[in-house]
Amino acid sequence: MIVISGCKTKKIVQYTGPVPDRSKGEILTALSDHNYDFVWYACETSITLNTPDEGVSGKSYIRMRRDSIIWASVKKFKVEAVRSLITPETYIAANRLDKTYQKGSTEDVFAKMGLSLDFMDVQQAIFGNIIIPDSNTISIEKEGEHYVVKAMDQDLQLKYWVNAYDLELDKVKMVDYRGREINIDYDDYRTIDSGEKLAFFRHYIVPSNGTGDAEIFMKVKKIEINIPKKTRFSISSRYERVH
Protein backbone atom coordinates (compact mmCIF):
# COMPACT_ATOMS: atom_id res chain seq x y z
CA MET A 1 0.00 0.00 0.00
CA ILE A 2 2.78 2.40 0.86
CA VAL A 3 4.21 1.99 -2.65
CA ILE A 4 1.08 3.08 -4.37
CA SER A 5 -0.08 5.51 -1.94
CA GLY A 6 2.00 15.91 6.54
CA CYS A 7 -1.49 17.16 6.11
CA LYS A 8 -3.10 18.71 3.07
CA THR A 9 -1.49 21.96 2.08
CA LYS A 10 -3.35 24.90 0.67
CA LYS A 11 -2.84 25.56 -3.00
CA ILE A 12 0.27 27.68 -3.37
CA VAL A 13 -1.29 30.14 -5.81
CA GLN A 14 -4.53 31.80 -4.69
CA TYR A 15 -6.44 33.20 -7.65
CA THR A 16 -8.71 36.25 -7.57
CA GLY A 17 -11.16 37.77 -10.00
CA PRO A 18 -13.99 36.18 -11.99
CA VAL A 19 -13.69 32.48 -12.77
CA PRO A 20 -12.55 32.24 -16.42
CA ASP A 21 -14.89 30.78 -19.02
CA ARG A 22 -13.26 27.80 -20.71
CA SER A 23 -14.33 25.92 -23.82
CA LYS A 24 -14.73 22.14 -23.96
CA GLY A 25 -11.67 22.03 -26.21
CA GLU A 26 -9.54 23.86 -23.63
CA ILE A 27 -10.63 21.48 -20.87
CA LEU A 28 -9.95 18.35 -22.94
CA THR A 29 -6.55 19.73 -23.99
CA ALA A 30 -5.72 20.39 -20.33
CA LEU A 31 -6.50 16.74 -19.48
CA SER A 32 -4.39 15.51 -22.36
CA ASP A 33 -1.50 17.83 -21.43
CA HIS A 34 -1.55 16.47 -17.87
CA ASN A 35 -0.12 13.16 -19.13
CA TYR A 36 3.49 12.48 -20.11
CA ASP A 37 5.16 9.53 -21.75
CA PHE A 38 8.01 7.89 -19.85
CA VAL A 39 10.28 4.86 -19.89
CA TRP A 40 11.96 5.40 -16.51
CA TYR A 41 10.55 7.24 -13.50
CA ALA A 42 12.23 7.86 -10.14
CA CYS A 43 11.12 9.90 -7.18
CA GLU A 44 12.12 10.61 -3.62
CA THR A 45 9.23 11.44 -1.32
CA SER A 46 8.17 11.66 2.29
CA ILE A 47 5.16 9.42 2.72
CA THR A 48 2.49 8.83 5.33
CA LEU A 49 0.11 5.87 5.23
CA ASN A 50 -2.98 5.68 7.41
CA THR A 51 -5.15 2.53 7.33
CA PRO A 52 -7.93 1.30 9.63
CA ASP A 53 -5.27 -0.80 11.39
CA GLU A 54 -2.16 1.40 11.56
CA GLY A 55 -0.39 4.59 10.64
CA VAL A 56 3.22 4.78 9.45
CA SER A 57 5.49 7.47 8.05
CA GLY A 58 8.88 7.48 6.39
CA LYS A 59 10.87 8.33 3.31
CA SER A 60 10.29 6.39 0.12
CA TYR A 61 12.33 5.93 -3.03
CA ILE A 62 10.27 4.73 -6.01
CA ARG A 63 11.69 3.60 -9.34
CA MET A 64 9.74 2.33 -12.34
CA ARG A 65 10.50 1.02 -15.78
CA ARG A 66 7.35 1.27 -17.84
CA ASP A 67 5.44 -1.98 -18.31
CA SER A 68 8.02 -4.05 -16.41
CA ILE A 69 9.06 -2.96 -12.89
CA ILE A 70 7.89 -1.03 -9.84
CA TRP A 71 10.68 -0.94 -7.25
CA ALA A 72 10.44 0.82 -3.91
CA SER A 73 12.43 1.26 -0.74
CA VAL A 74 10.90 2.72 2.42
CA LYS A 75 13.12 4.07 5.19
CA LYS A 76 12.27 4.91 8.80
CA PHE A 77 14.82 6.87 10.84
CA LYS A 78 17.34 6.50 7.95
CA VAL A 79 17.14 2.70 8.11
CA GLU A 80 15.57 0.72 5.27
CA ALA A 81 12.41 -0.91 6.61
CA VAL A 82 10.83 -2.40 3.49
CA ARG A 83 12.01 -3.06 -0.05
CA SER A 84 9.57 -4.28 -2.68
CA LEU A 85 9.61 -5.30 -6.31
CA ILE A 86 6.49 -5.62 -8.44
CA THR A 87 6.35 -6.94 -11.99
CA PRO A 88 3.22 -7.57 -14.06
CA GLU A 89 3.24 -11.16 -12.75
CA THR A 90 4.89 -11.16 -9.32
CA TYR A 91 4.89 -9.13 -6.11
CA ILE A 92 7.62 -9.55 -3.51
CA ALA A 93 8.39 -7.45 -0.43
CA ALA A 94 11.07 -7.87 2.22
CA ASN A 95 10.72 -6.44 5.73
CA ARG A 96 14.28 -5.70 6.83
CA LEU A 97 13.25 -4.97 10.43
CA ASP A 98 11.64 -8.30 11.30
CA LYS A 99 13.46 -10.37 8.64
CA THR A 100 10.35 -11.61 6.84
CA TYR A 101 9.13 -11.46 3.26
CA GLN A 102 5.95 -11.84 1.25
CA LYS A 103 5.64 -13.15 -2.28
CA GLY A 104 2.69 -13.74 -4.57
CA SER A 105 0.79 -12.91 -7.70
CA THR A 106 0.54 -9.21 -8.54
CA GLU A 107 -3.03 -9.68 -9.72
CA ASP A 108 -3.97 -11.35 -6.42
CA VAL A 109 -2.31 -8.62 -4.36
CA PHE A 110 -4.16 -5.84 -6.19
CA ALA A 111 -7.44 -7.76 -5.90
CA LYS A 112 -6.90 -8.27 -2.16
CA MET A 113 -6.32 -4.54 -1.75
CA GLY A 114 -9.60 -3.91 -3.57
CA LEU A 115 -8.08 -2.21 -6.60
CA SER A 116 -9.73 -2.82 -9.96
CA LEU A 117 -6.52 -1.76 -11.74
CA ASP A 118 -3.84 -3.72 -13.53
CA PHE A 119 -0.06 -3.29 -13.33
CA MET A 120 0.14 -0.66 -16.06
CA ASP A 121 -2.75 1.30 -14.51
CA VAL A 122 -0.92 1.39 -11.17
CA GLN A 123 2.28 2.59 -12.84
CA GLN A 124 0.38 5.41 -14.51
CA ALA A 125 -1.28 6.36 -11.20
CA ILE A 126 2.10 6.47 -9.41
CA PHE A 127 3.52 8.66 -12.16
CA GLY A 128 0.49 10.95 -12.01
CA ASN A 129 -1.03 10.19 -15.42
CA ILE A 130 -4.78 9.75 -15.83
CA ILE A 131 -7.14 7.82 -18.08
CA ILE A 132 -8.13 9.95 -21.07
CA PRO A 133 -11.75 8.99 -21.82
CA ASP A 134 -13.46 8.89 -25.18
CA SER A 135 -14.77 12.39 -25.88
CA ASN A 136 -18.17 10.89 -26.74
CA THR A 137 -18.66 9.83 -23.09
CA ILE A 138 -17.72 13.21 -21.61
CA SER A 139 -19.90 15.81 -19.94
CA ILE A 140 -18.52 19.04 -18.41
CA GLU A 141 -20.04 21.23 -15.71
CA LYS A 142 -18.77 24.41 -14.09
CA GLU A 143 -18.56 24.07 -10.30
CA GLY A 144 -17.08 27.01 -8.40
CA GLU A 145 -13.53 27.52 -9.61
CA HIS A 146 -13.43 24.11 -11.30
CA TYR A 147 -14.69 22.50 -14.46
CA VAL A 148 -15.87 19.02 -13.53
CA VAL A 149 -15.41 16.42 -16.25
CA LYS A 150 -17.51 13.25 -16.01
CA ALA A 151 -16.92 10.25 -18.27
CA MET A 152 -16.92 6.46 -18.54
CA ASP A 153 -14.03 4.14 -19.44
CA GLN A 154 -15.33 0.59 -19.76
CA ASP A 155 -16.68 -0.16 -16.24
CA LEU A 156 -14.97 2.82 -14.56
CA GLN A 157 -16.79 6.05 -13.74
CA LEU A 158 -14.35 8.94 -14.03
CA LYS A 159 -14.59 12.41 -12.55
CA TYR A 160 -11.92 15.10 -12.97
CA TRP A 161 -11.75 18.56 -11.38
CA VAL A 162 -9.85 20.97 -13.67
CA ASN A 163 -8.92 24.34 -12.19
CA ALA A 164 -10.52 27.07 -14.31
CA TYR A 165 -7.71 29.56 -13.65
CA ASP A 166 -4.57 27.56 -14.50
CA LEU A 167 -6.13 24.45 -16.13
CA GLU A 168 -4.27 22.18 -13.72
CA LEU A 169 -5.89 18.93 -12.58
CA ASP A 170 -6.70 19.28 -8.88
CA LYS A 171 -8.68 16.14 -8.15
CA VAL A 172 -9.58 12.72 -9.60
CA LYS A 173 -12.28 10.25 -8.60
CA MET A 174 -12.65 6.73 -10.05
CA VAL A 175 -15.48 4.36 -9.17
CA ASP A 176 -15.60 0.76 -10.41
CA TYR A 177 -18.64 -1.42 -11.05
CA ARG A 178 -18.63 -2.60 -7.42
CA GLY A 179 -18.78 0.95 -6.11
CA ARG A 180 -15.18 0.95 -4.88
CA GLU A 181 -13.61 4.42 -5.07
CA ILE A 182 -10.15 5.82 -5.60
CA ASN A 183 -9.75 9.54 -4.89
CA ILE A 184 -6.61 11.54 -5.67
CA ASP A 185 -5.77 15.18 -4.88
CA TYR A 186 -2.92 16.90 -6.72
CA ASP A 187 -1.16 20.10 -5.66
CA ASP A 188 2.16 21.96 -5.78
CA TYR A 189 2.83 21.59 -9.51
CA ARG A 190 6.46 22.18 -10.51
CA THR A 191 8.35 21.97 -13.77
CA ILE A 192 11.26 19.53 -13.44
CA ASP A 193 14.59 19.77 -15.27
CA SER A 194 13.44 17.59 -18.18
CA GLY A 195 10.47 19.91 -18.82
CA GLU A 196 7.51 17.99 -17.40
CA LYS A 197 5.14 19.79 -15.03
CA LEU A 198 4.19 17.37 -12.26
CA ALA A 199 2.39 17.48 -8.92
CA PHE A 200 4.79 17.38 -5.97
CA PHE A 201 1.95 16.80 -3.51
CA ARG A 202 -0.40 13.81 -3.87
CA HIS A 203 -3.12 12.60 -1.53
CA TYR A 204 -4.63 9.18 -2.30
CA ILE A 205 -7.66 7.52 -0.72
CA VAL A 206 -7.91 3.89 -1.81
CA PRO A 207 -9.68 0.70 -0.63
CA SER A 208 -7.80 -1.22 2.05
CA ASN A 209 -8.29 -4.99 2.16
CA GLY A 210 -12.05 -4.69 2.43
CA THR A 211 -11.81 -3.13 5.92
CA GLY A 212 -12.18 0.51 4.97
CA ASP A 213 -10.02 3.08 3.22
CA ALA A 214 -6.33 3.84 3.31
CA GLU A 215 -4.98 7.37 3.03
CA ILE A 216 -1.60 8.03 1.48
CA PHE A 217 0.07 11.45 1.67
CA MET A 218 3.11 12.05 -0.52
CA LYS A 219 5.28 15.17 -0.42
CA VAL A 220 7.68 14.64 -3.29
CA LYS A 221 11.20 16.03 -2.96
CA LYS A 222 12.68 15.00 -6.31
CA ILE A 223 11.51 13.49 -9.60
CA GLU A 224 13.63 12.23 -12.50
CA ILE A 225 12.27 11.07 -15.86
CA ASN A 226 13.93 8.71 -18.34
CA ILE A 227 17.16 8.26 -16.42
CA PRO A 228 17.86 4.52 -15.96
CA LYS A 229 18.10 3.43 -12.32
CA LYS A 230 19.28 0.34 -10.48
CA THR A 231 16.50 -1.90 -9.13
CA ARG A 232 18.46 -4.43 -7.11
CA PHE A 233 16.48 -6.89 -5.04
CA SER A 234 17.52 -9.92 -3.02
CA ILE A 235 16.25 -11.82 0.00
CA SER A 236 18.46 -13.47 2.58
CA SER A 237 17.98 -17.20 3.15
CA ARG A 238 17.52 -16.31 6.83
CA TYR A 239 14.27 -14.44 6.11
CA GLU A 240 10.99 -16.19 6.91
CA ARG A 241 8.16 -16.17 4.39
CA VAL A 242 4.84 -14.87 5.76
CA HIS A 243 1.36 -14.60 4.23
Mean pLDDT over 207-232 rounds to 90
- Residue 114 reports pLDDT greater than 70: no
Q: Is residue 190 part of a domain?
A: yes
| Model confidence pLDDT, tens digit, residues 142-183 | 999 999 999 999 888 999 999 999 999 999 999 988 888 999
Whole-model pTM: value is 0.85
Q: Is residue 98 part of a domain?
A: yes
**pLDDT score at 14:** 65
Q: Is residue 16 part of a domain?
A: no
Q: How far is CA 161 from CA 51, 107, 109, 140, 142, in A?
A: 26, 30, 30, 10, 10
| Model confidence pLDDT, tens digit, residues 44-82 | 999 998 888 778 899 999 999 999 999 999 998 888 999
**pLDDT score at 112:** 76
Q: Is residue 103 part of a domain?
A: yes
User: Structural domain tally of the chain?
Assistant: 1
* 8 A C-beta contact, residue 36 and residue 225: yes
Q: How far is CA 79 from CA 73, 83, 145, 243, in A?
A: 10, 11, 43, 24
Q: Which has more pLDDT, 242 or 211?
A: 242
Residue ranges making up the domain that contains 98: 24-232
Q: Is residue 243 part of a domain?
A: no
| Model confidence pLDDT, tens digit, residues 177-219 | 888 899 999 999 999 999 999 999 999 998 876 678 889 999 9
CATH number, domain with residue 188: 2.50.20.10
